[in-house]
Amino acid sequence: MTRSVDSFAALLLVSGAALLELGAAVLTNAWLLSSGPSAAATLVRTCVLLLSLHVPGVVLIVVWVLLALLLGWCTARLLWETASRWQRTRRSVAGLRDALVLPLPSALAHAISLLSLEGRAELIERDESLSLCYGLAEPRILLSTGLLQRLDGPQLEAVLLHERAHLLGRDPLRLLLAHSLAAALRWIPLIPALAERSLTEQEVLADRAAVEAQSGPQHLASAMLKLLARADGVPSLNGLAISSLSVSAARIEALARPEAASNSSPLPKSSVRSGMALASMGSVGAFALTLSVHAASIISYCGGAAHMTFHCF
C-alpha cells in the first residue's frame, strides 16, 4: 500500500469532480443572468423559452432546479460537517487535556529529542493508554501516563514513530476532510468507500514508517497487543480529526504479511460501478443542459433581431 495509489487523493479528485459537475450544470447560464438589466427577468425569459420547447423544456427546468438544490445542499452539508467535526475535535482534545499536563520524564524527553519532536509532544496524567495526533495547522502528539506504564522503551519508540508519521503527513487534516466528504456526499457510494480506504491506508503507512525505522515489526506489534488488552475505558474518537493508535484487522494483517499489504485492496465493485455511472450521468446532464441554455439564448437573440428588422422595414 503506497502513496502511488493514494486513496485520499482519489477521494479529493472524485469529490471535486462531482461538485464541479453540479456547479457547471447550475452556473452554465450565469452569463445570461448578468447580461440583462434584471437578473430575475432574464431567468424568467430563459424559462419561458425553455417552456416553449414543451415537454423537454419543462424537464430541463425541473432538472436545473433540482441540480441547484442538490449543489446548495451538498455545499452546506460539507461546510457543516467540517465545522461541526472540527468543533467536536477541539472539545474532545480539551476534555482530554483537562487532566494534569506533566513535565516529560527524562527517558521520554530523550526519545522525543532523538525523533526531532521537541515542543510537539505532551504528557497528560490519565490511566487509559492514550496515544494520538491532533491539530490542523501544527499537529501535536498527546501521550498518557497509562501508556508509559504499560510499554517498554522500544515499544514506546515504535508508538512515537507511528505518531510522528501522522504528524509529518498532517493526517488529522486528512481525517477531517475524509470524514466530512464521506458524510456530505454519501449519495455517491464511491466516496464513502474511498474515505474508508484512505483511513486504513493512513494507519498502515504510519505503521510501515515505524517498522522501517526499527527494522522489524516486533516492537510495534507487541505494543499493539498491550493496547488491545487494555482497550477498556479509552474514549471513542471515531469521526474526529484525531489520529489515534487503534488496533484493526487491516493493520495486523499488514504487520504479519507486509508483502500482501504492498498492493491496495480493491474497492467494492458496486461502489465503483455506481460512482462511474453517476459521474457519466452528471457529465451528460451538464452537457445537455449547457446546449439547451445556449440554444435558448440563441433563439432569444434571433427572435429579438427579427423583431427589430421587422420594425425597421
Does 312 map to a domain?
A: no
Quick one: pLDDT at residue 189? 84
Tell me how far apart the alpha carbons of residues 125 and 284 are, in angstroms, rounded to a whole number.
58
Does 249 map to a domain?
A: yes
Quick one: pLDDT at residue 237? 79
Does 193 map to a domain?
A: yes
Quick one: pLDDT at residue 249? 65
Does 310 map to a domain?
A: no
Q: Nearest-CA neighbor of 121 among 148, 91, 155?
A: 148
Give DSSP secondary structure letters for 262-309. Answer: TSPPPPPHHHHHHHHHHHHHHHHHHHHHHHHHHHHHHHHHHHHHHHHH
> Are the CB atoms for 219 and 117 separated by under 8 Å?
no
Q: End-to-end distance of the chain based on CA atoms, in angstroms?
A: 75
Does 267 map to a domain?
A: yes
Does 53 map to a domain?
A: yes
Which run of H or E residues covers position 161? helix 153-168
Residues of the domain holding 217? 3-303
Tell me how far apart the alpha carbons of residues 163 and 181 are, in angstroms, rounded to a whole number.
24
The pTM score is 0.76
* pLDDT tens series, the chain, 313 aa: 444 447 888 888 888 888 887 777 666 655 544 554 555 555 556 566 655 655 455 566 666 677 778 888 999 999 999 999 999 999 999 988 887 788 999 989 999 999 999 999 999 998 888 899 999 989 999 999 999 999 999 999 999 999 999 999 999 999 999 999 999 998 888 889 899 888 888 988 899 999 999 988 899 988 888 887 665 556 677 888 888 777 666 677 777 776 555 444 555 555 555 555 655 555 555 555 555 555 555 555 455 444 444 444 4
Does 207 map to a domain?
A: yes
Quick one: pLDDT at residue 14? 84
For 162-185, give one letter per residue: b (16+ CB within 10 A) or e: bbbbbbebbbbebbbbbbbbbbbb
Does 111 map to a domain?
A: yes
* Amino acid type, 8: F
Quick one: pLDDT at residue 24? 72
Q: How many folded domains does the chain comprise?
A: 1
> Are the CB atoms for 235 and 99 separated by under 8 Å?
no
Place of cell 460501478: 273
Q: Nearest-CA neighbor of 209 among 246, 251, 240, 249?
A: 251
- According to DSSP H, which parts of 169-268 are helical? 171-184, 190-214, 218-229, 249-256, 258-261
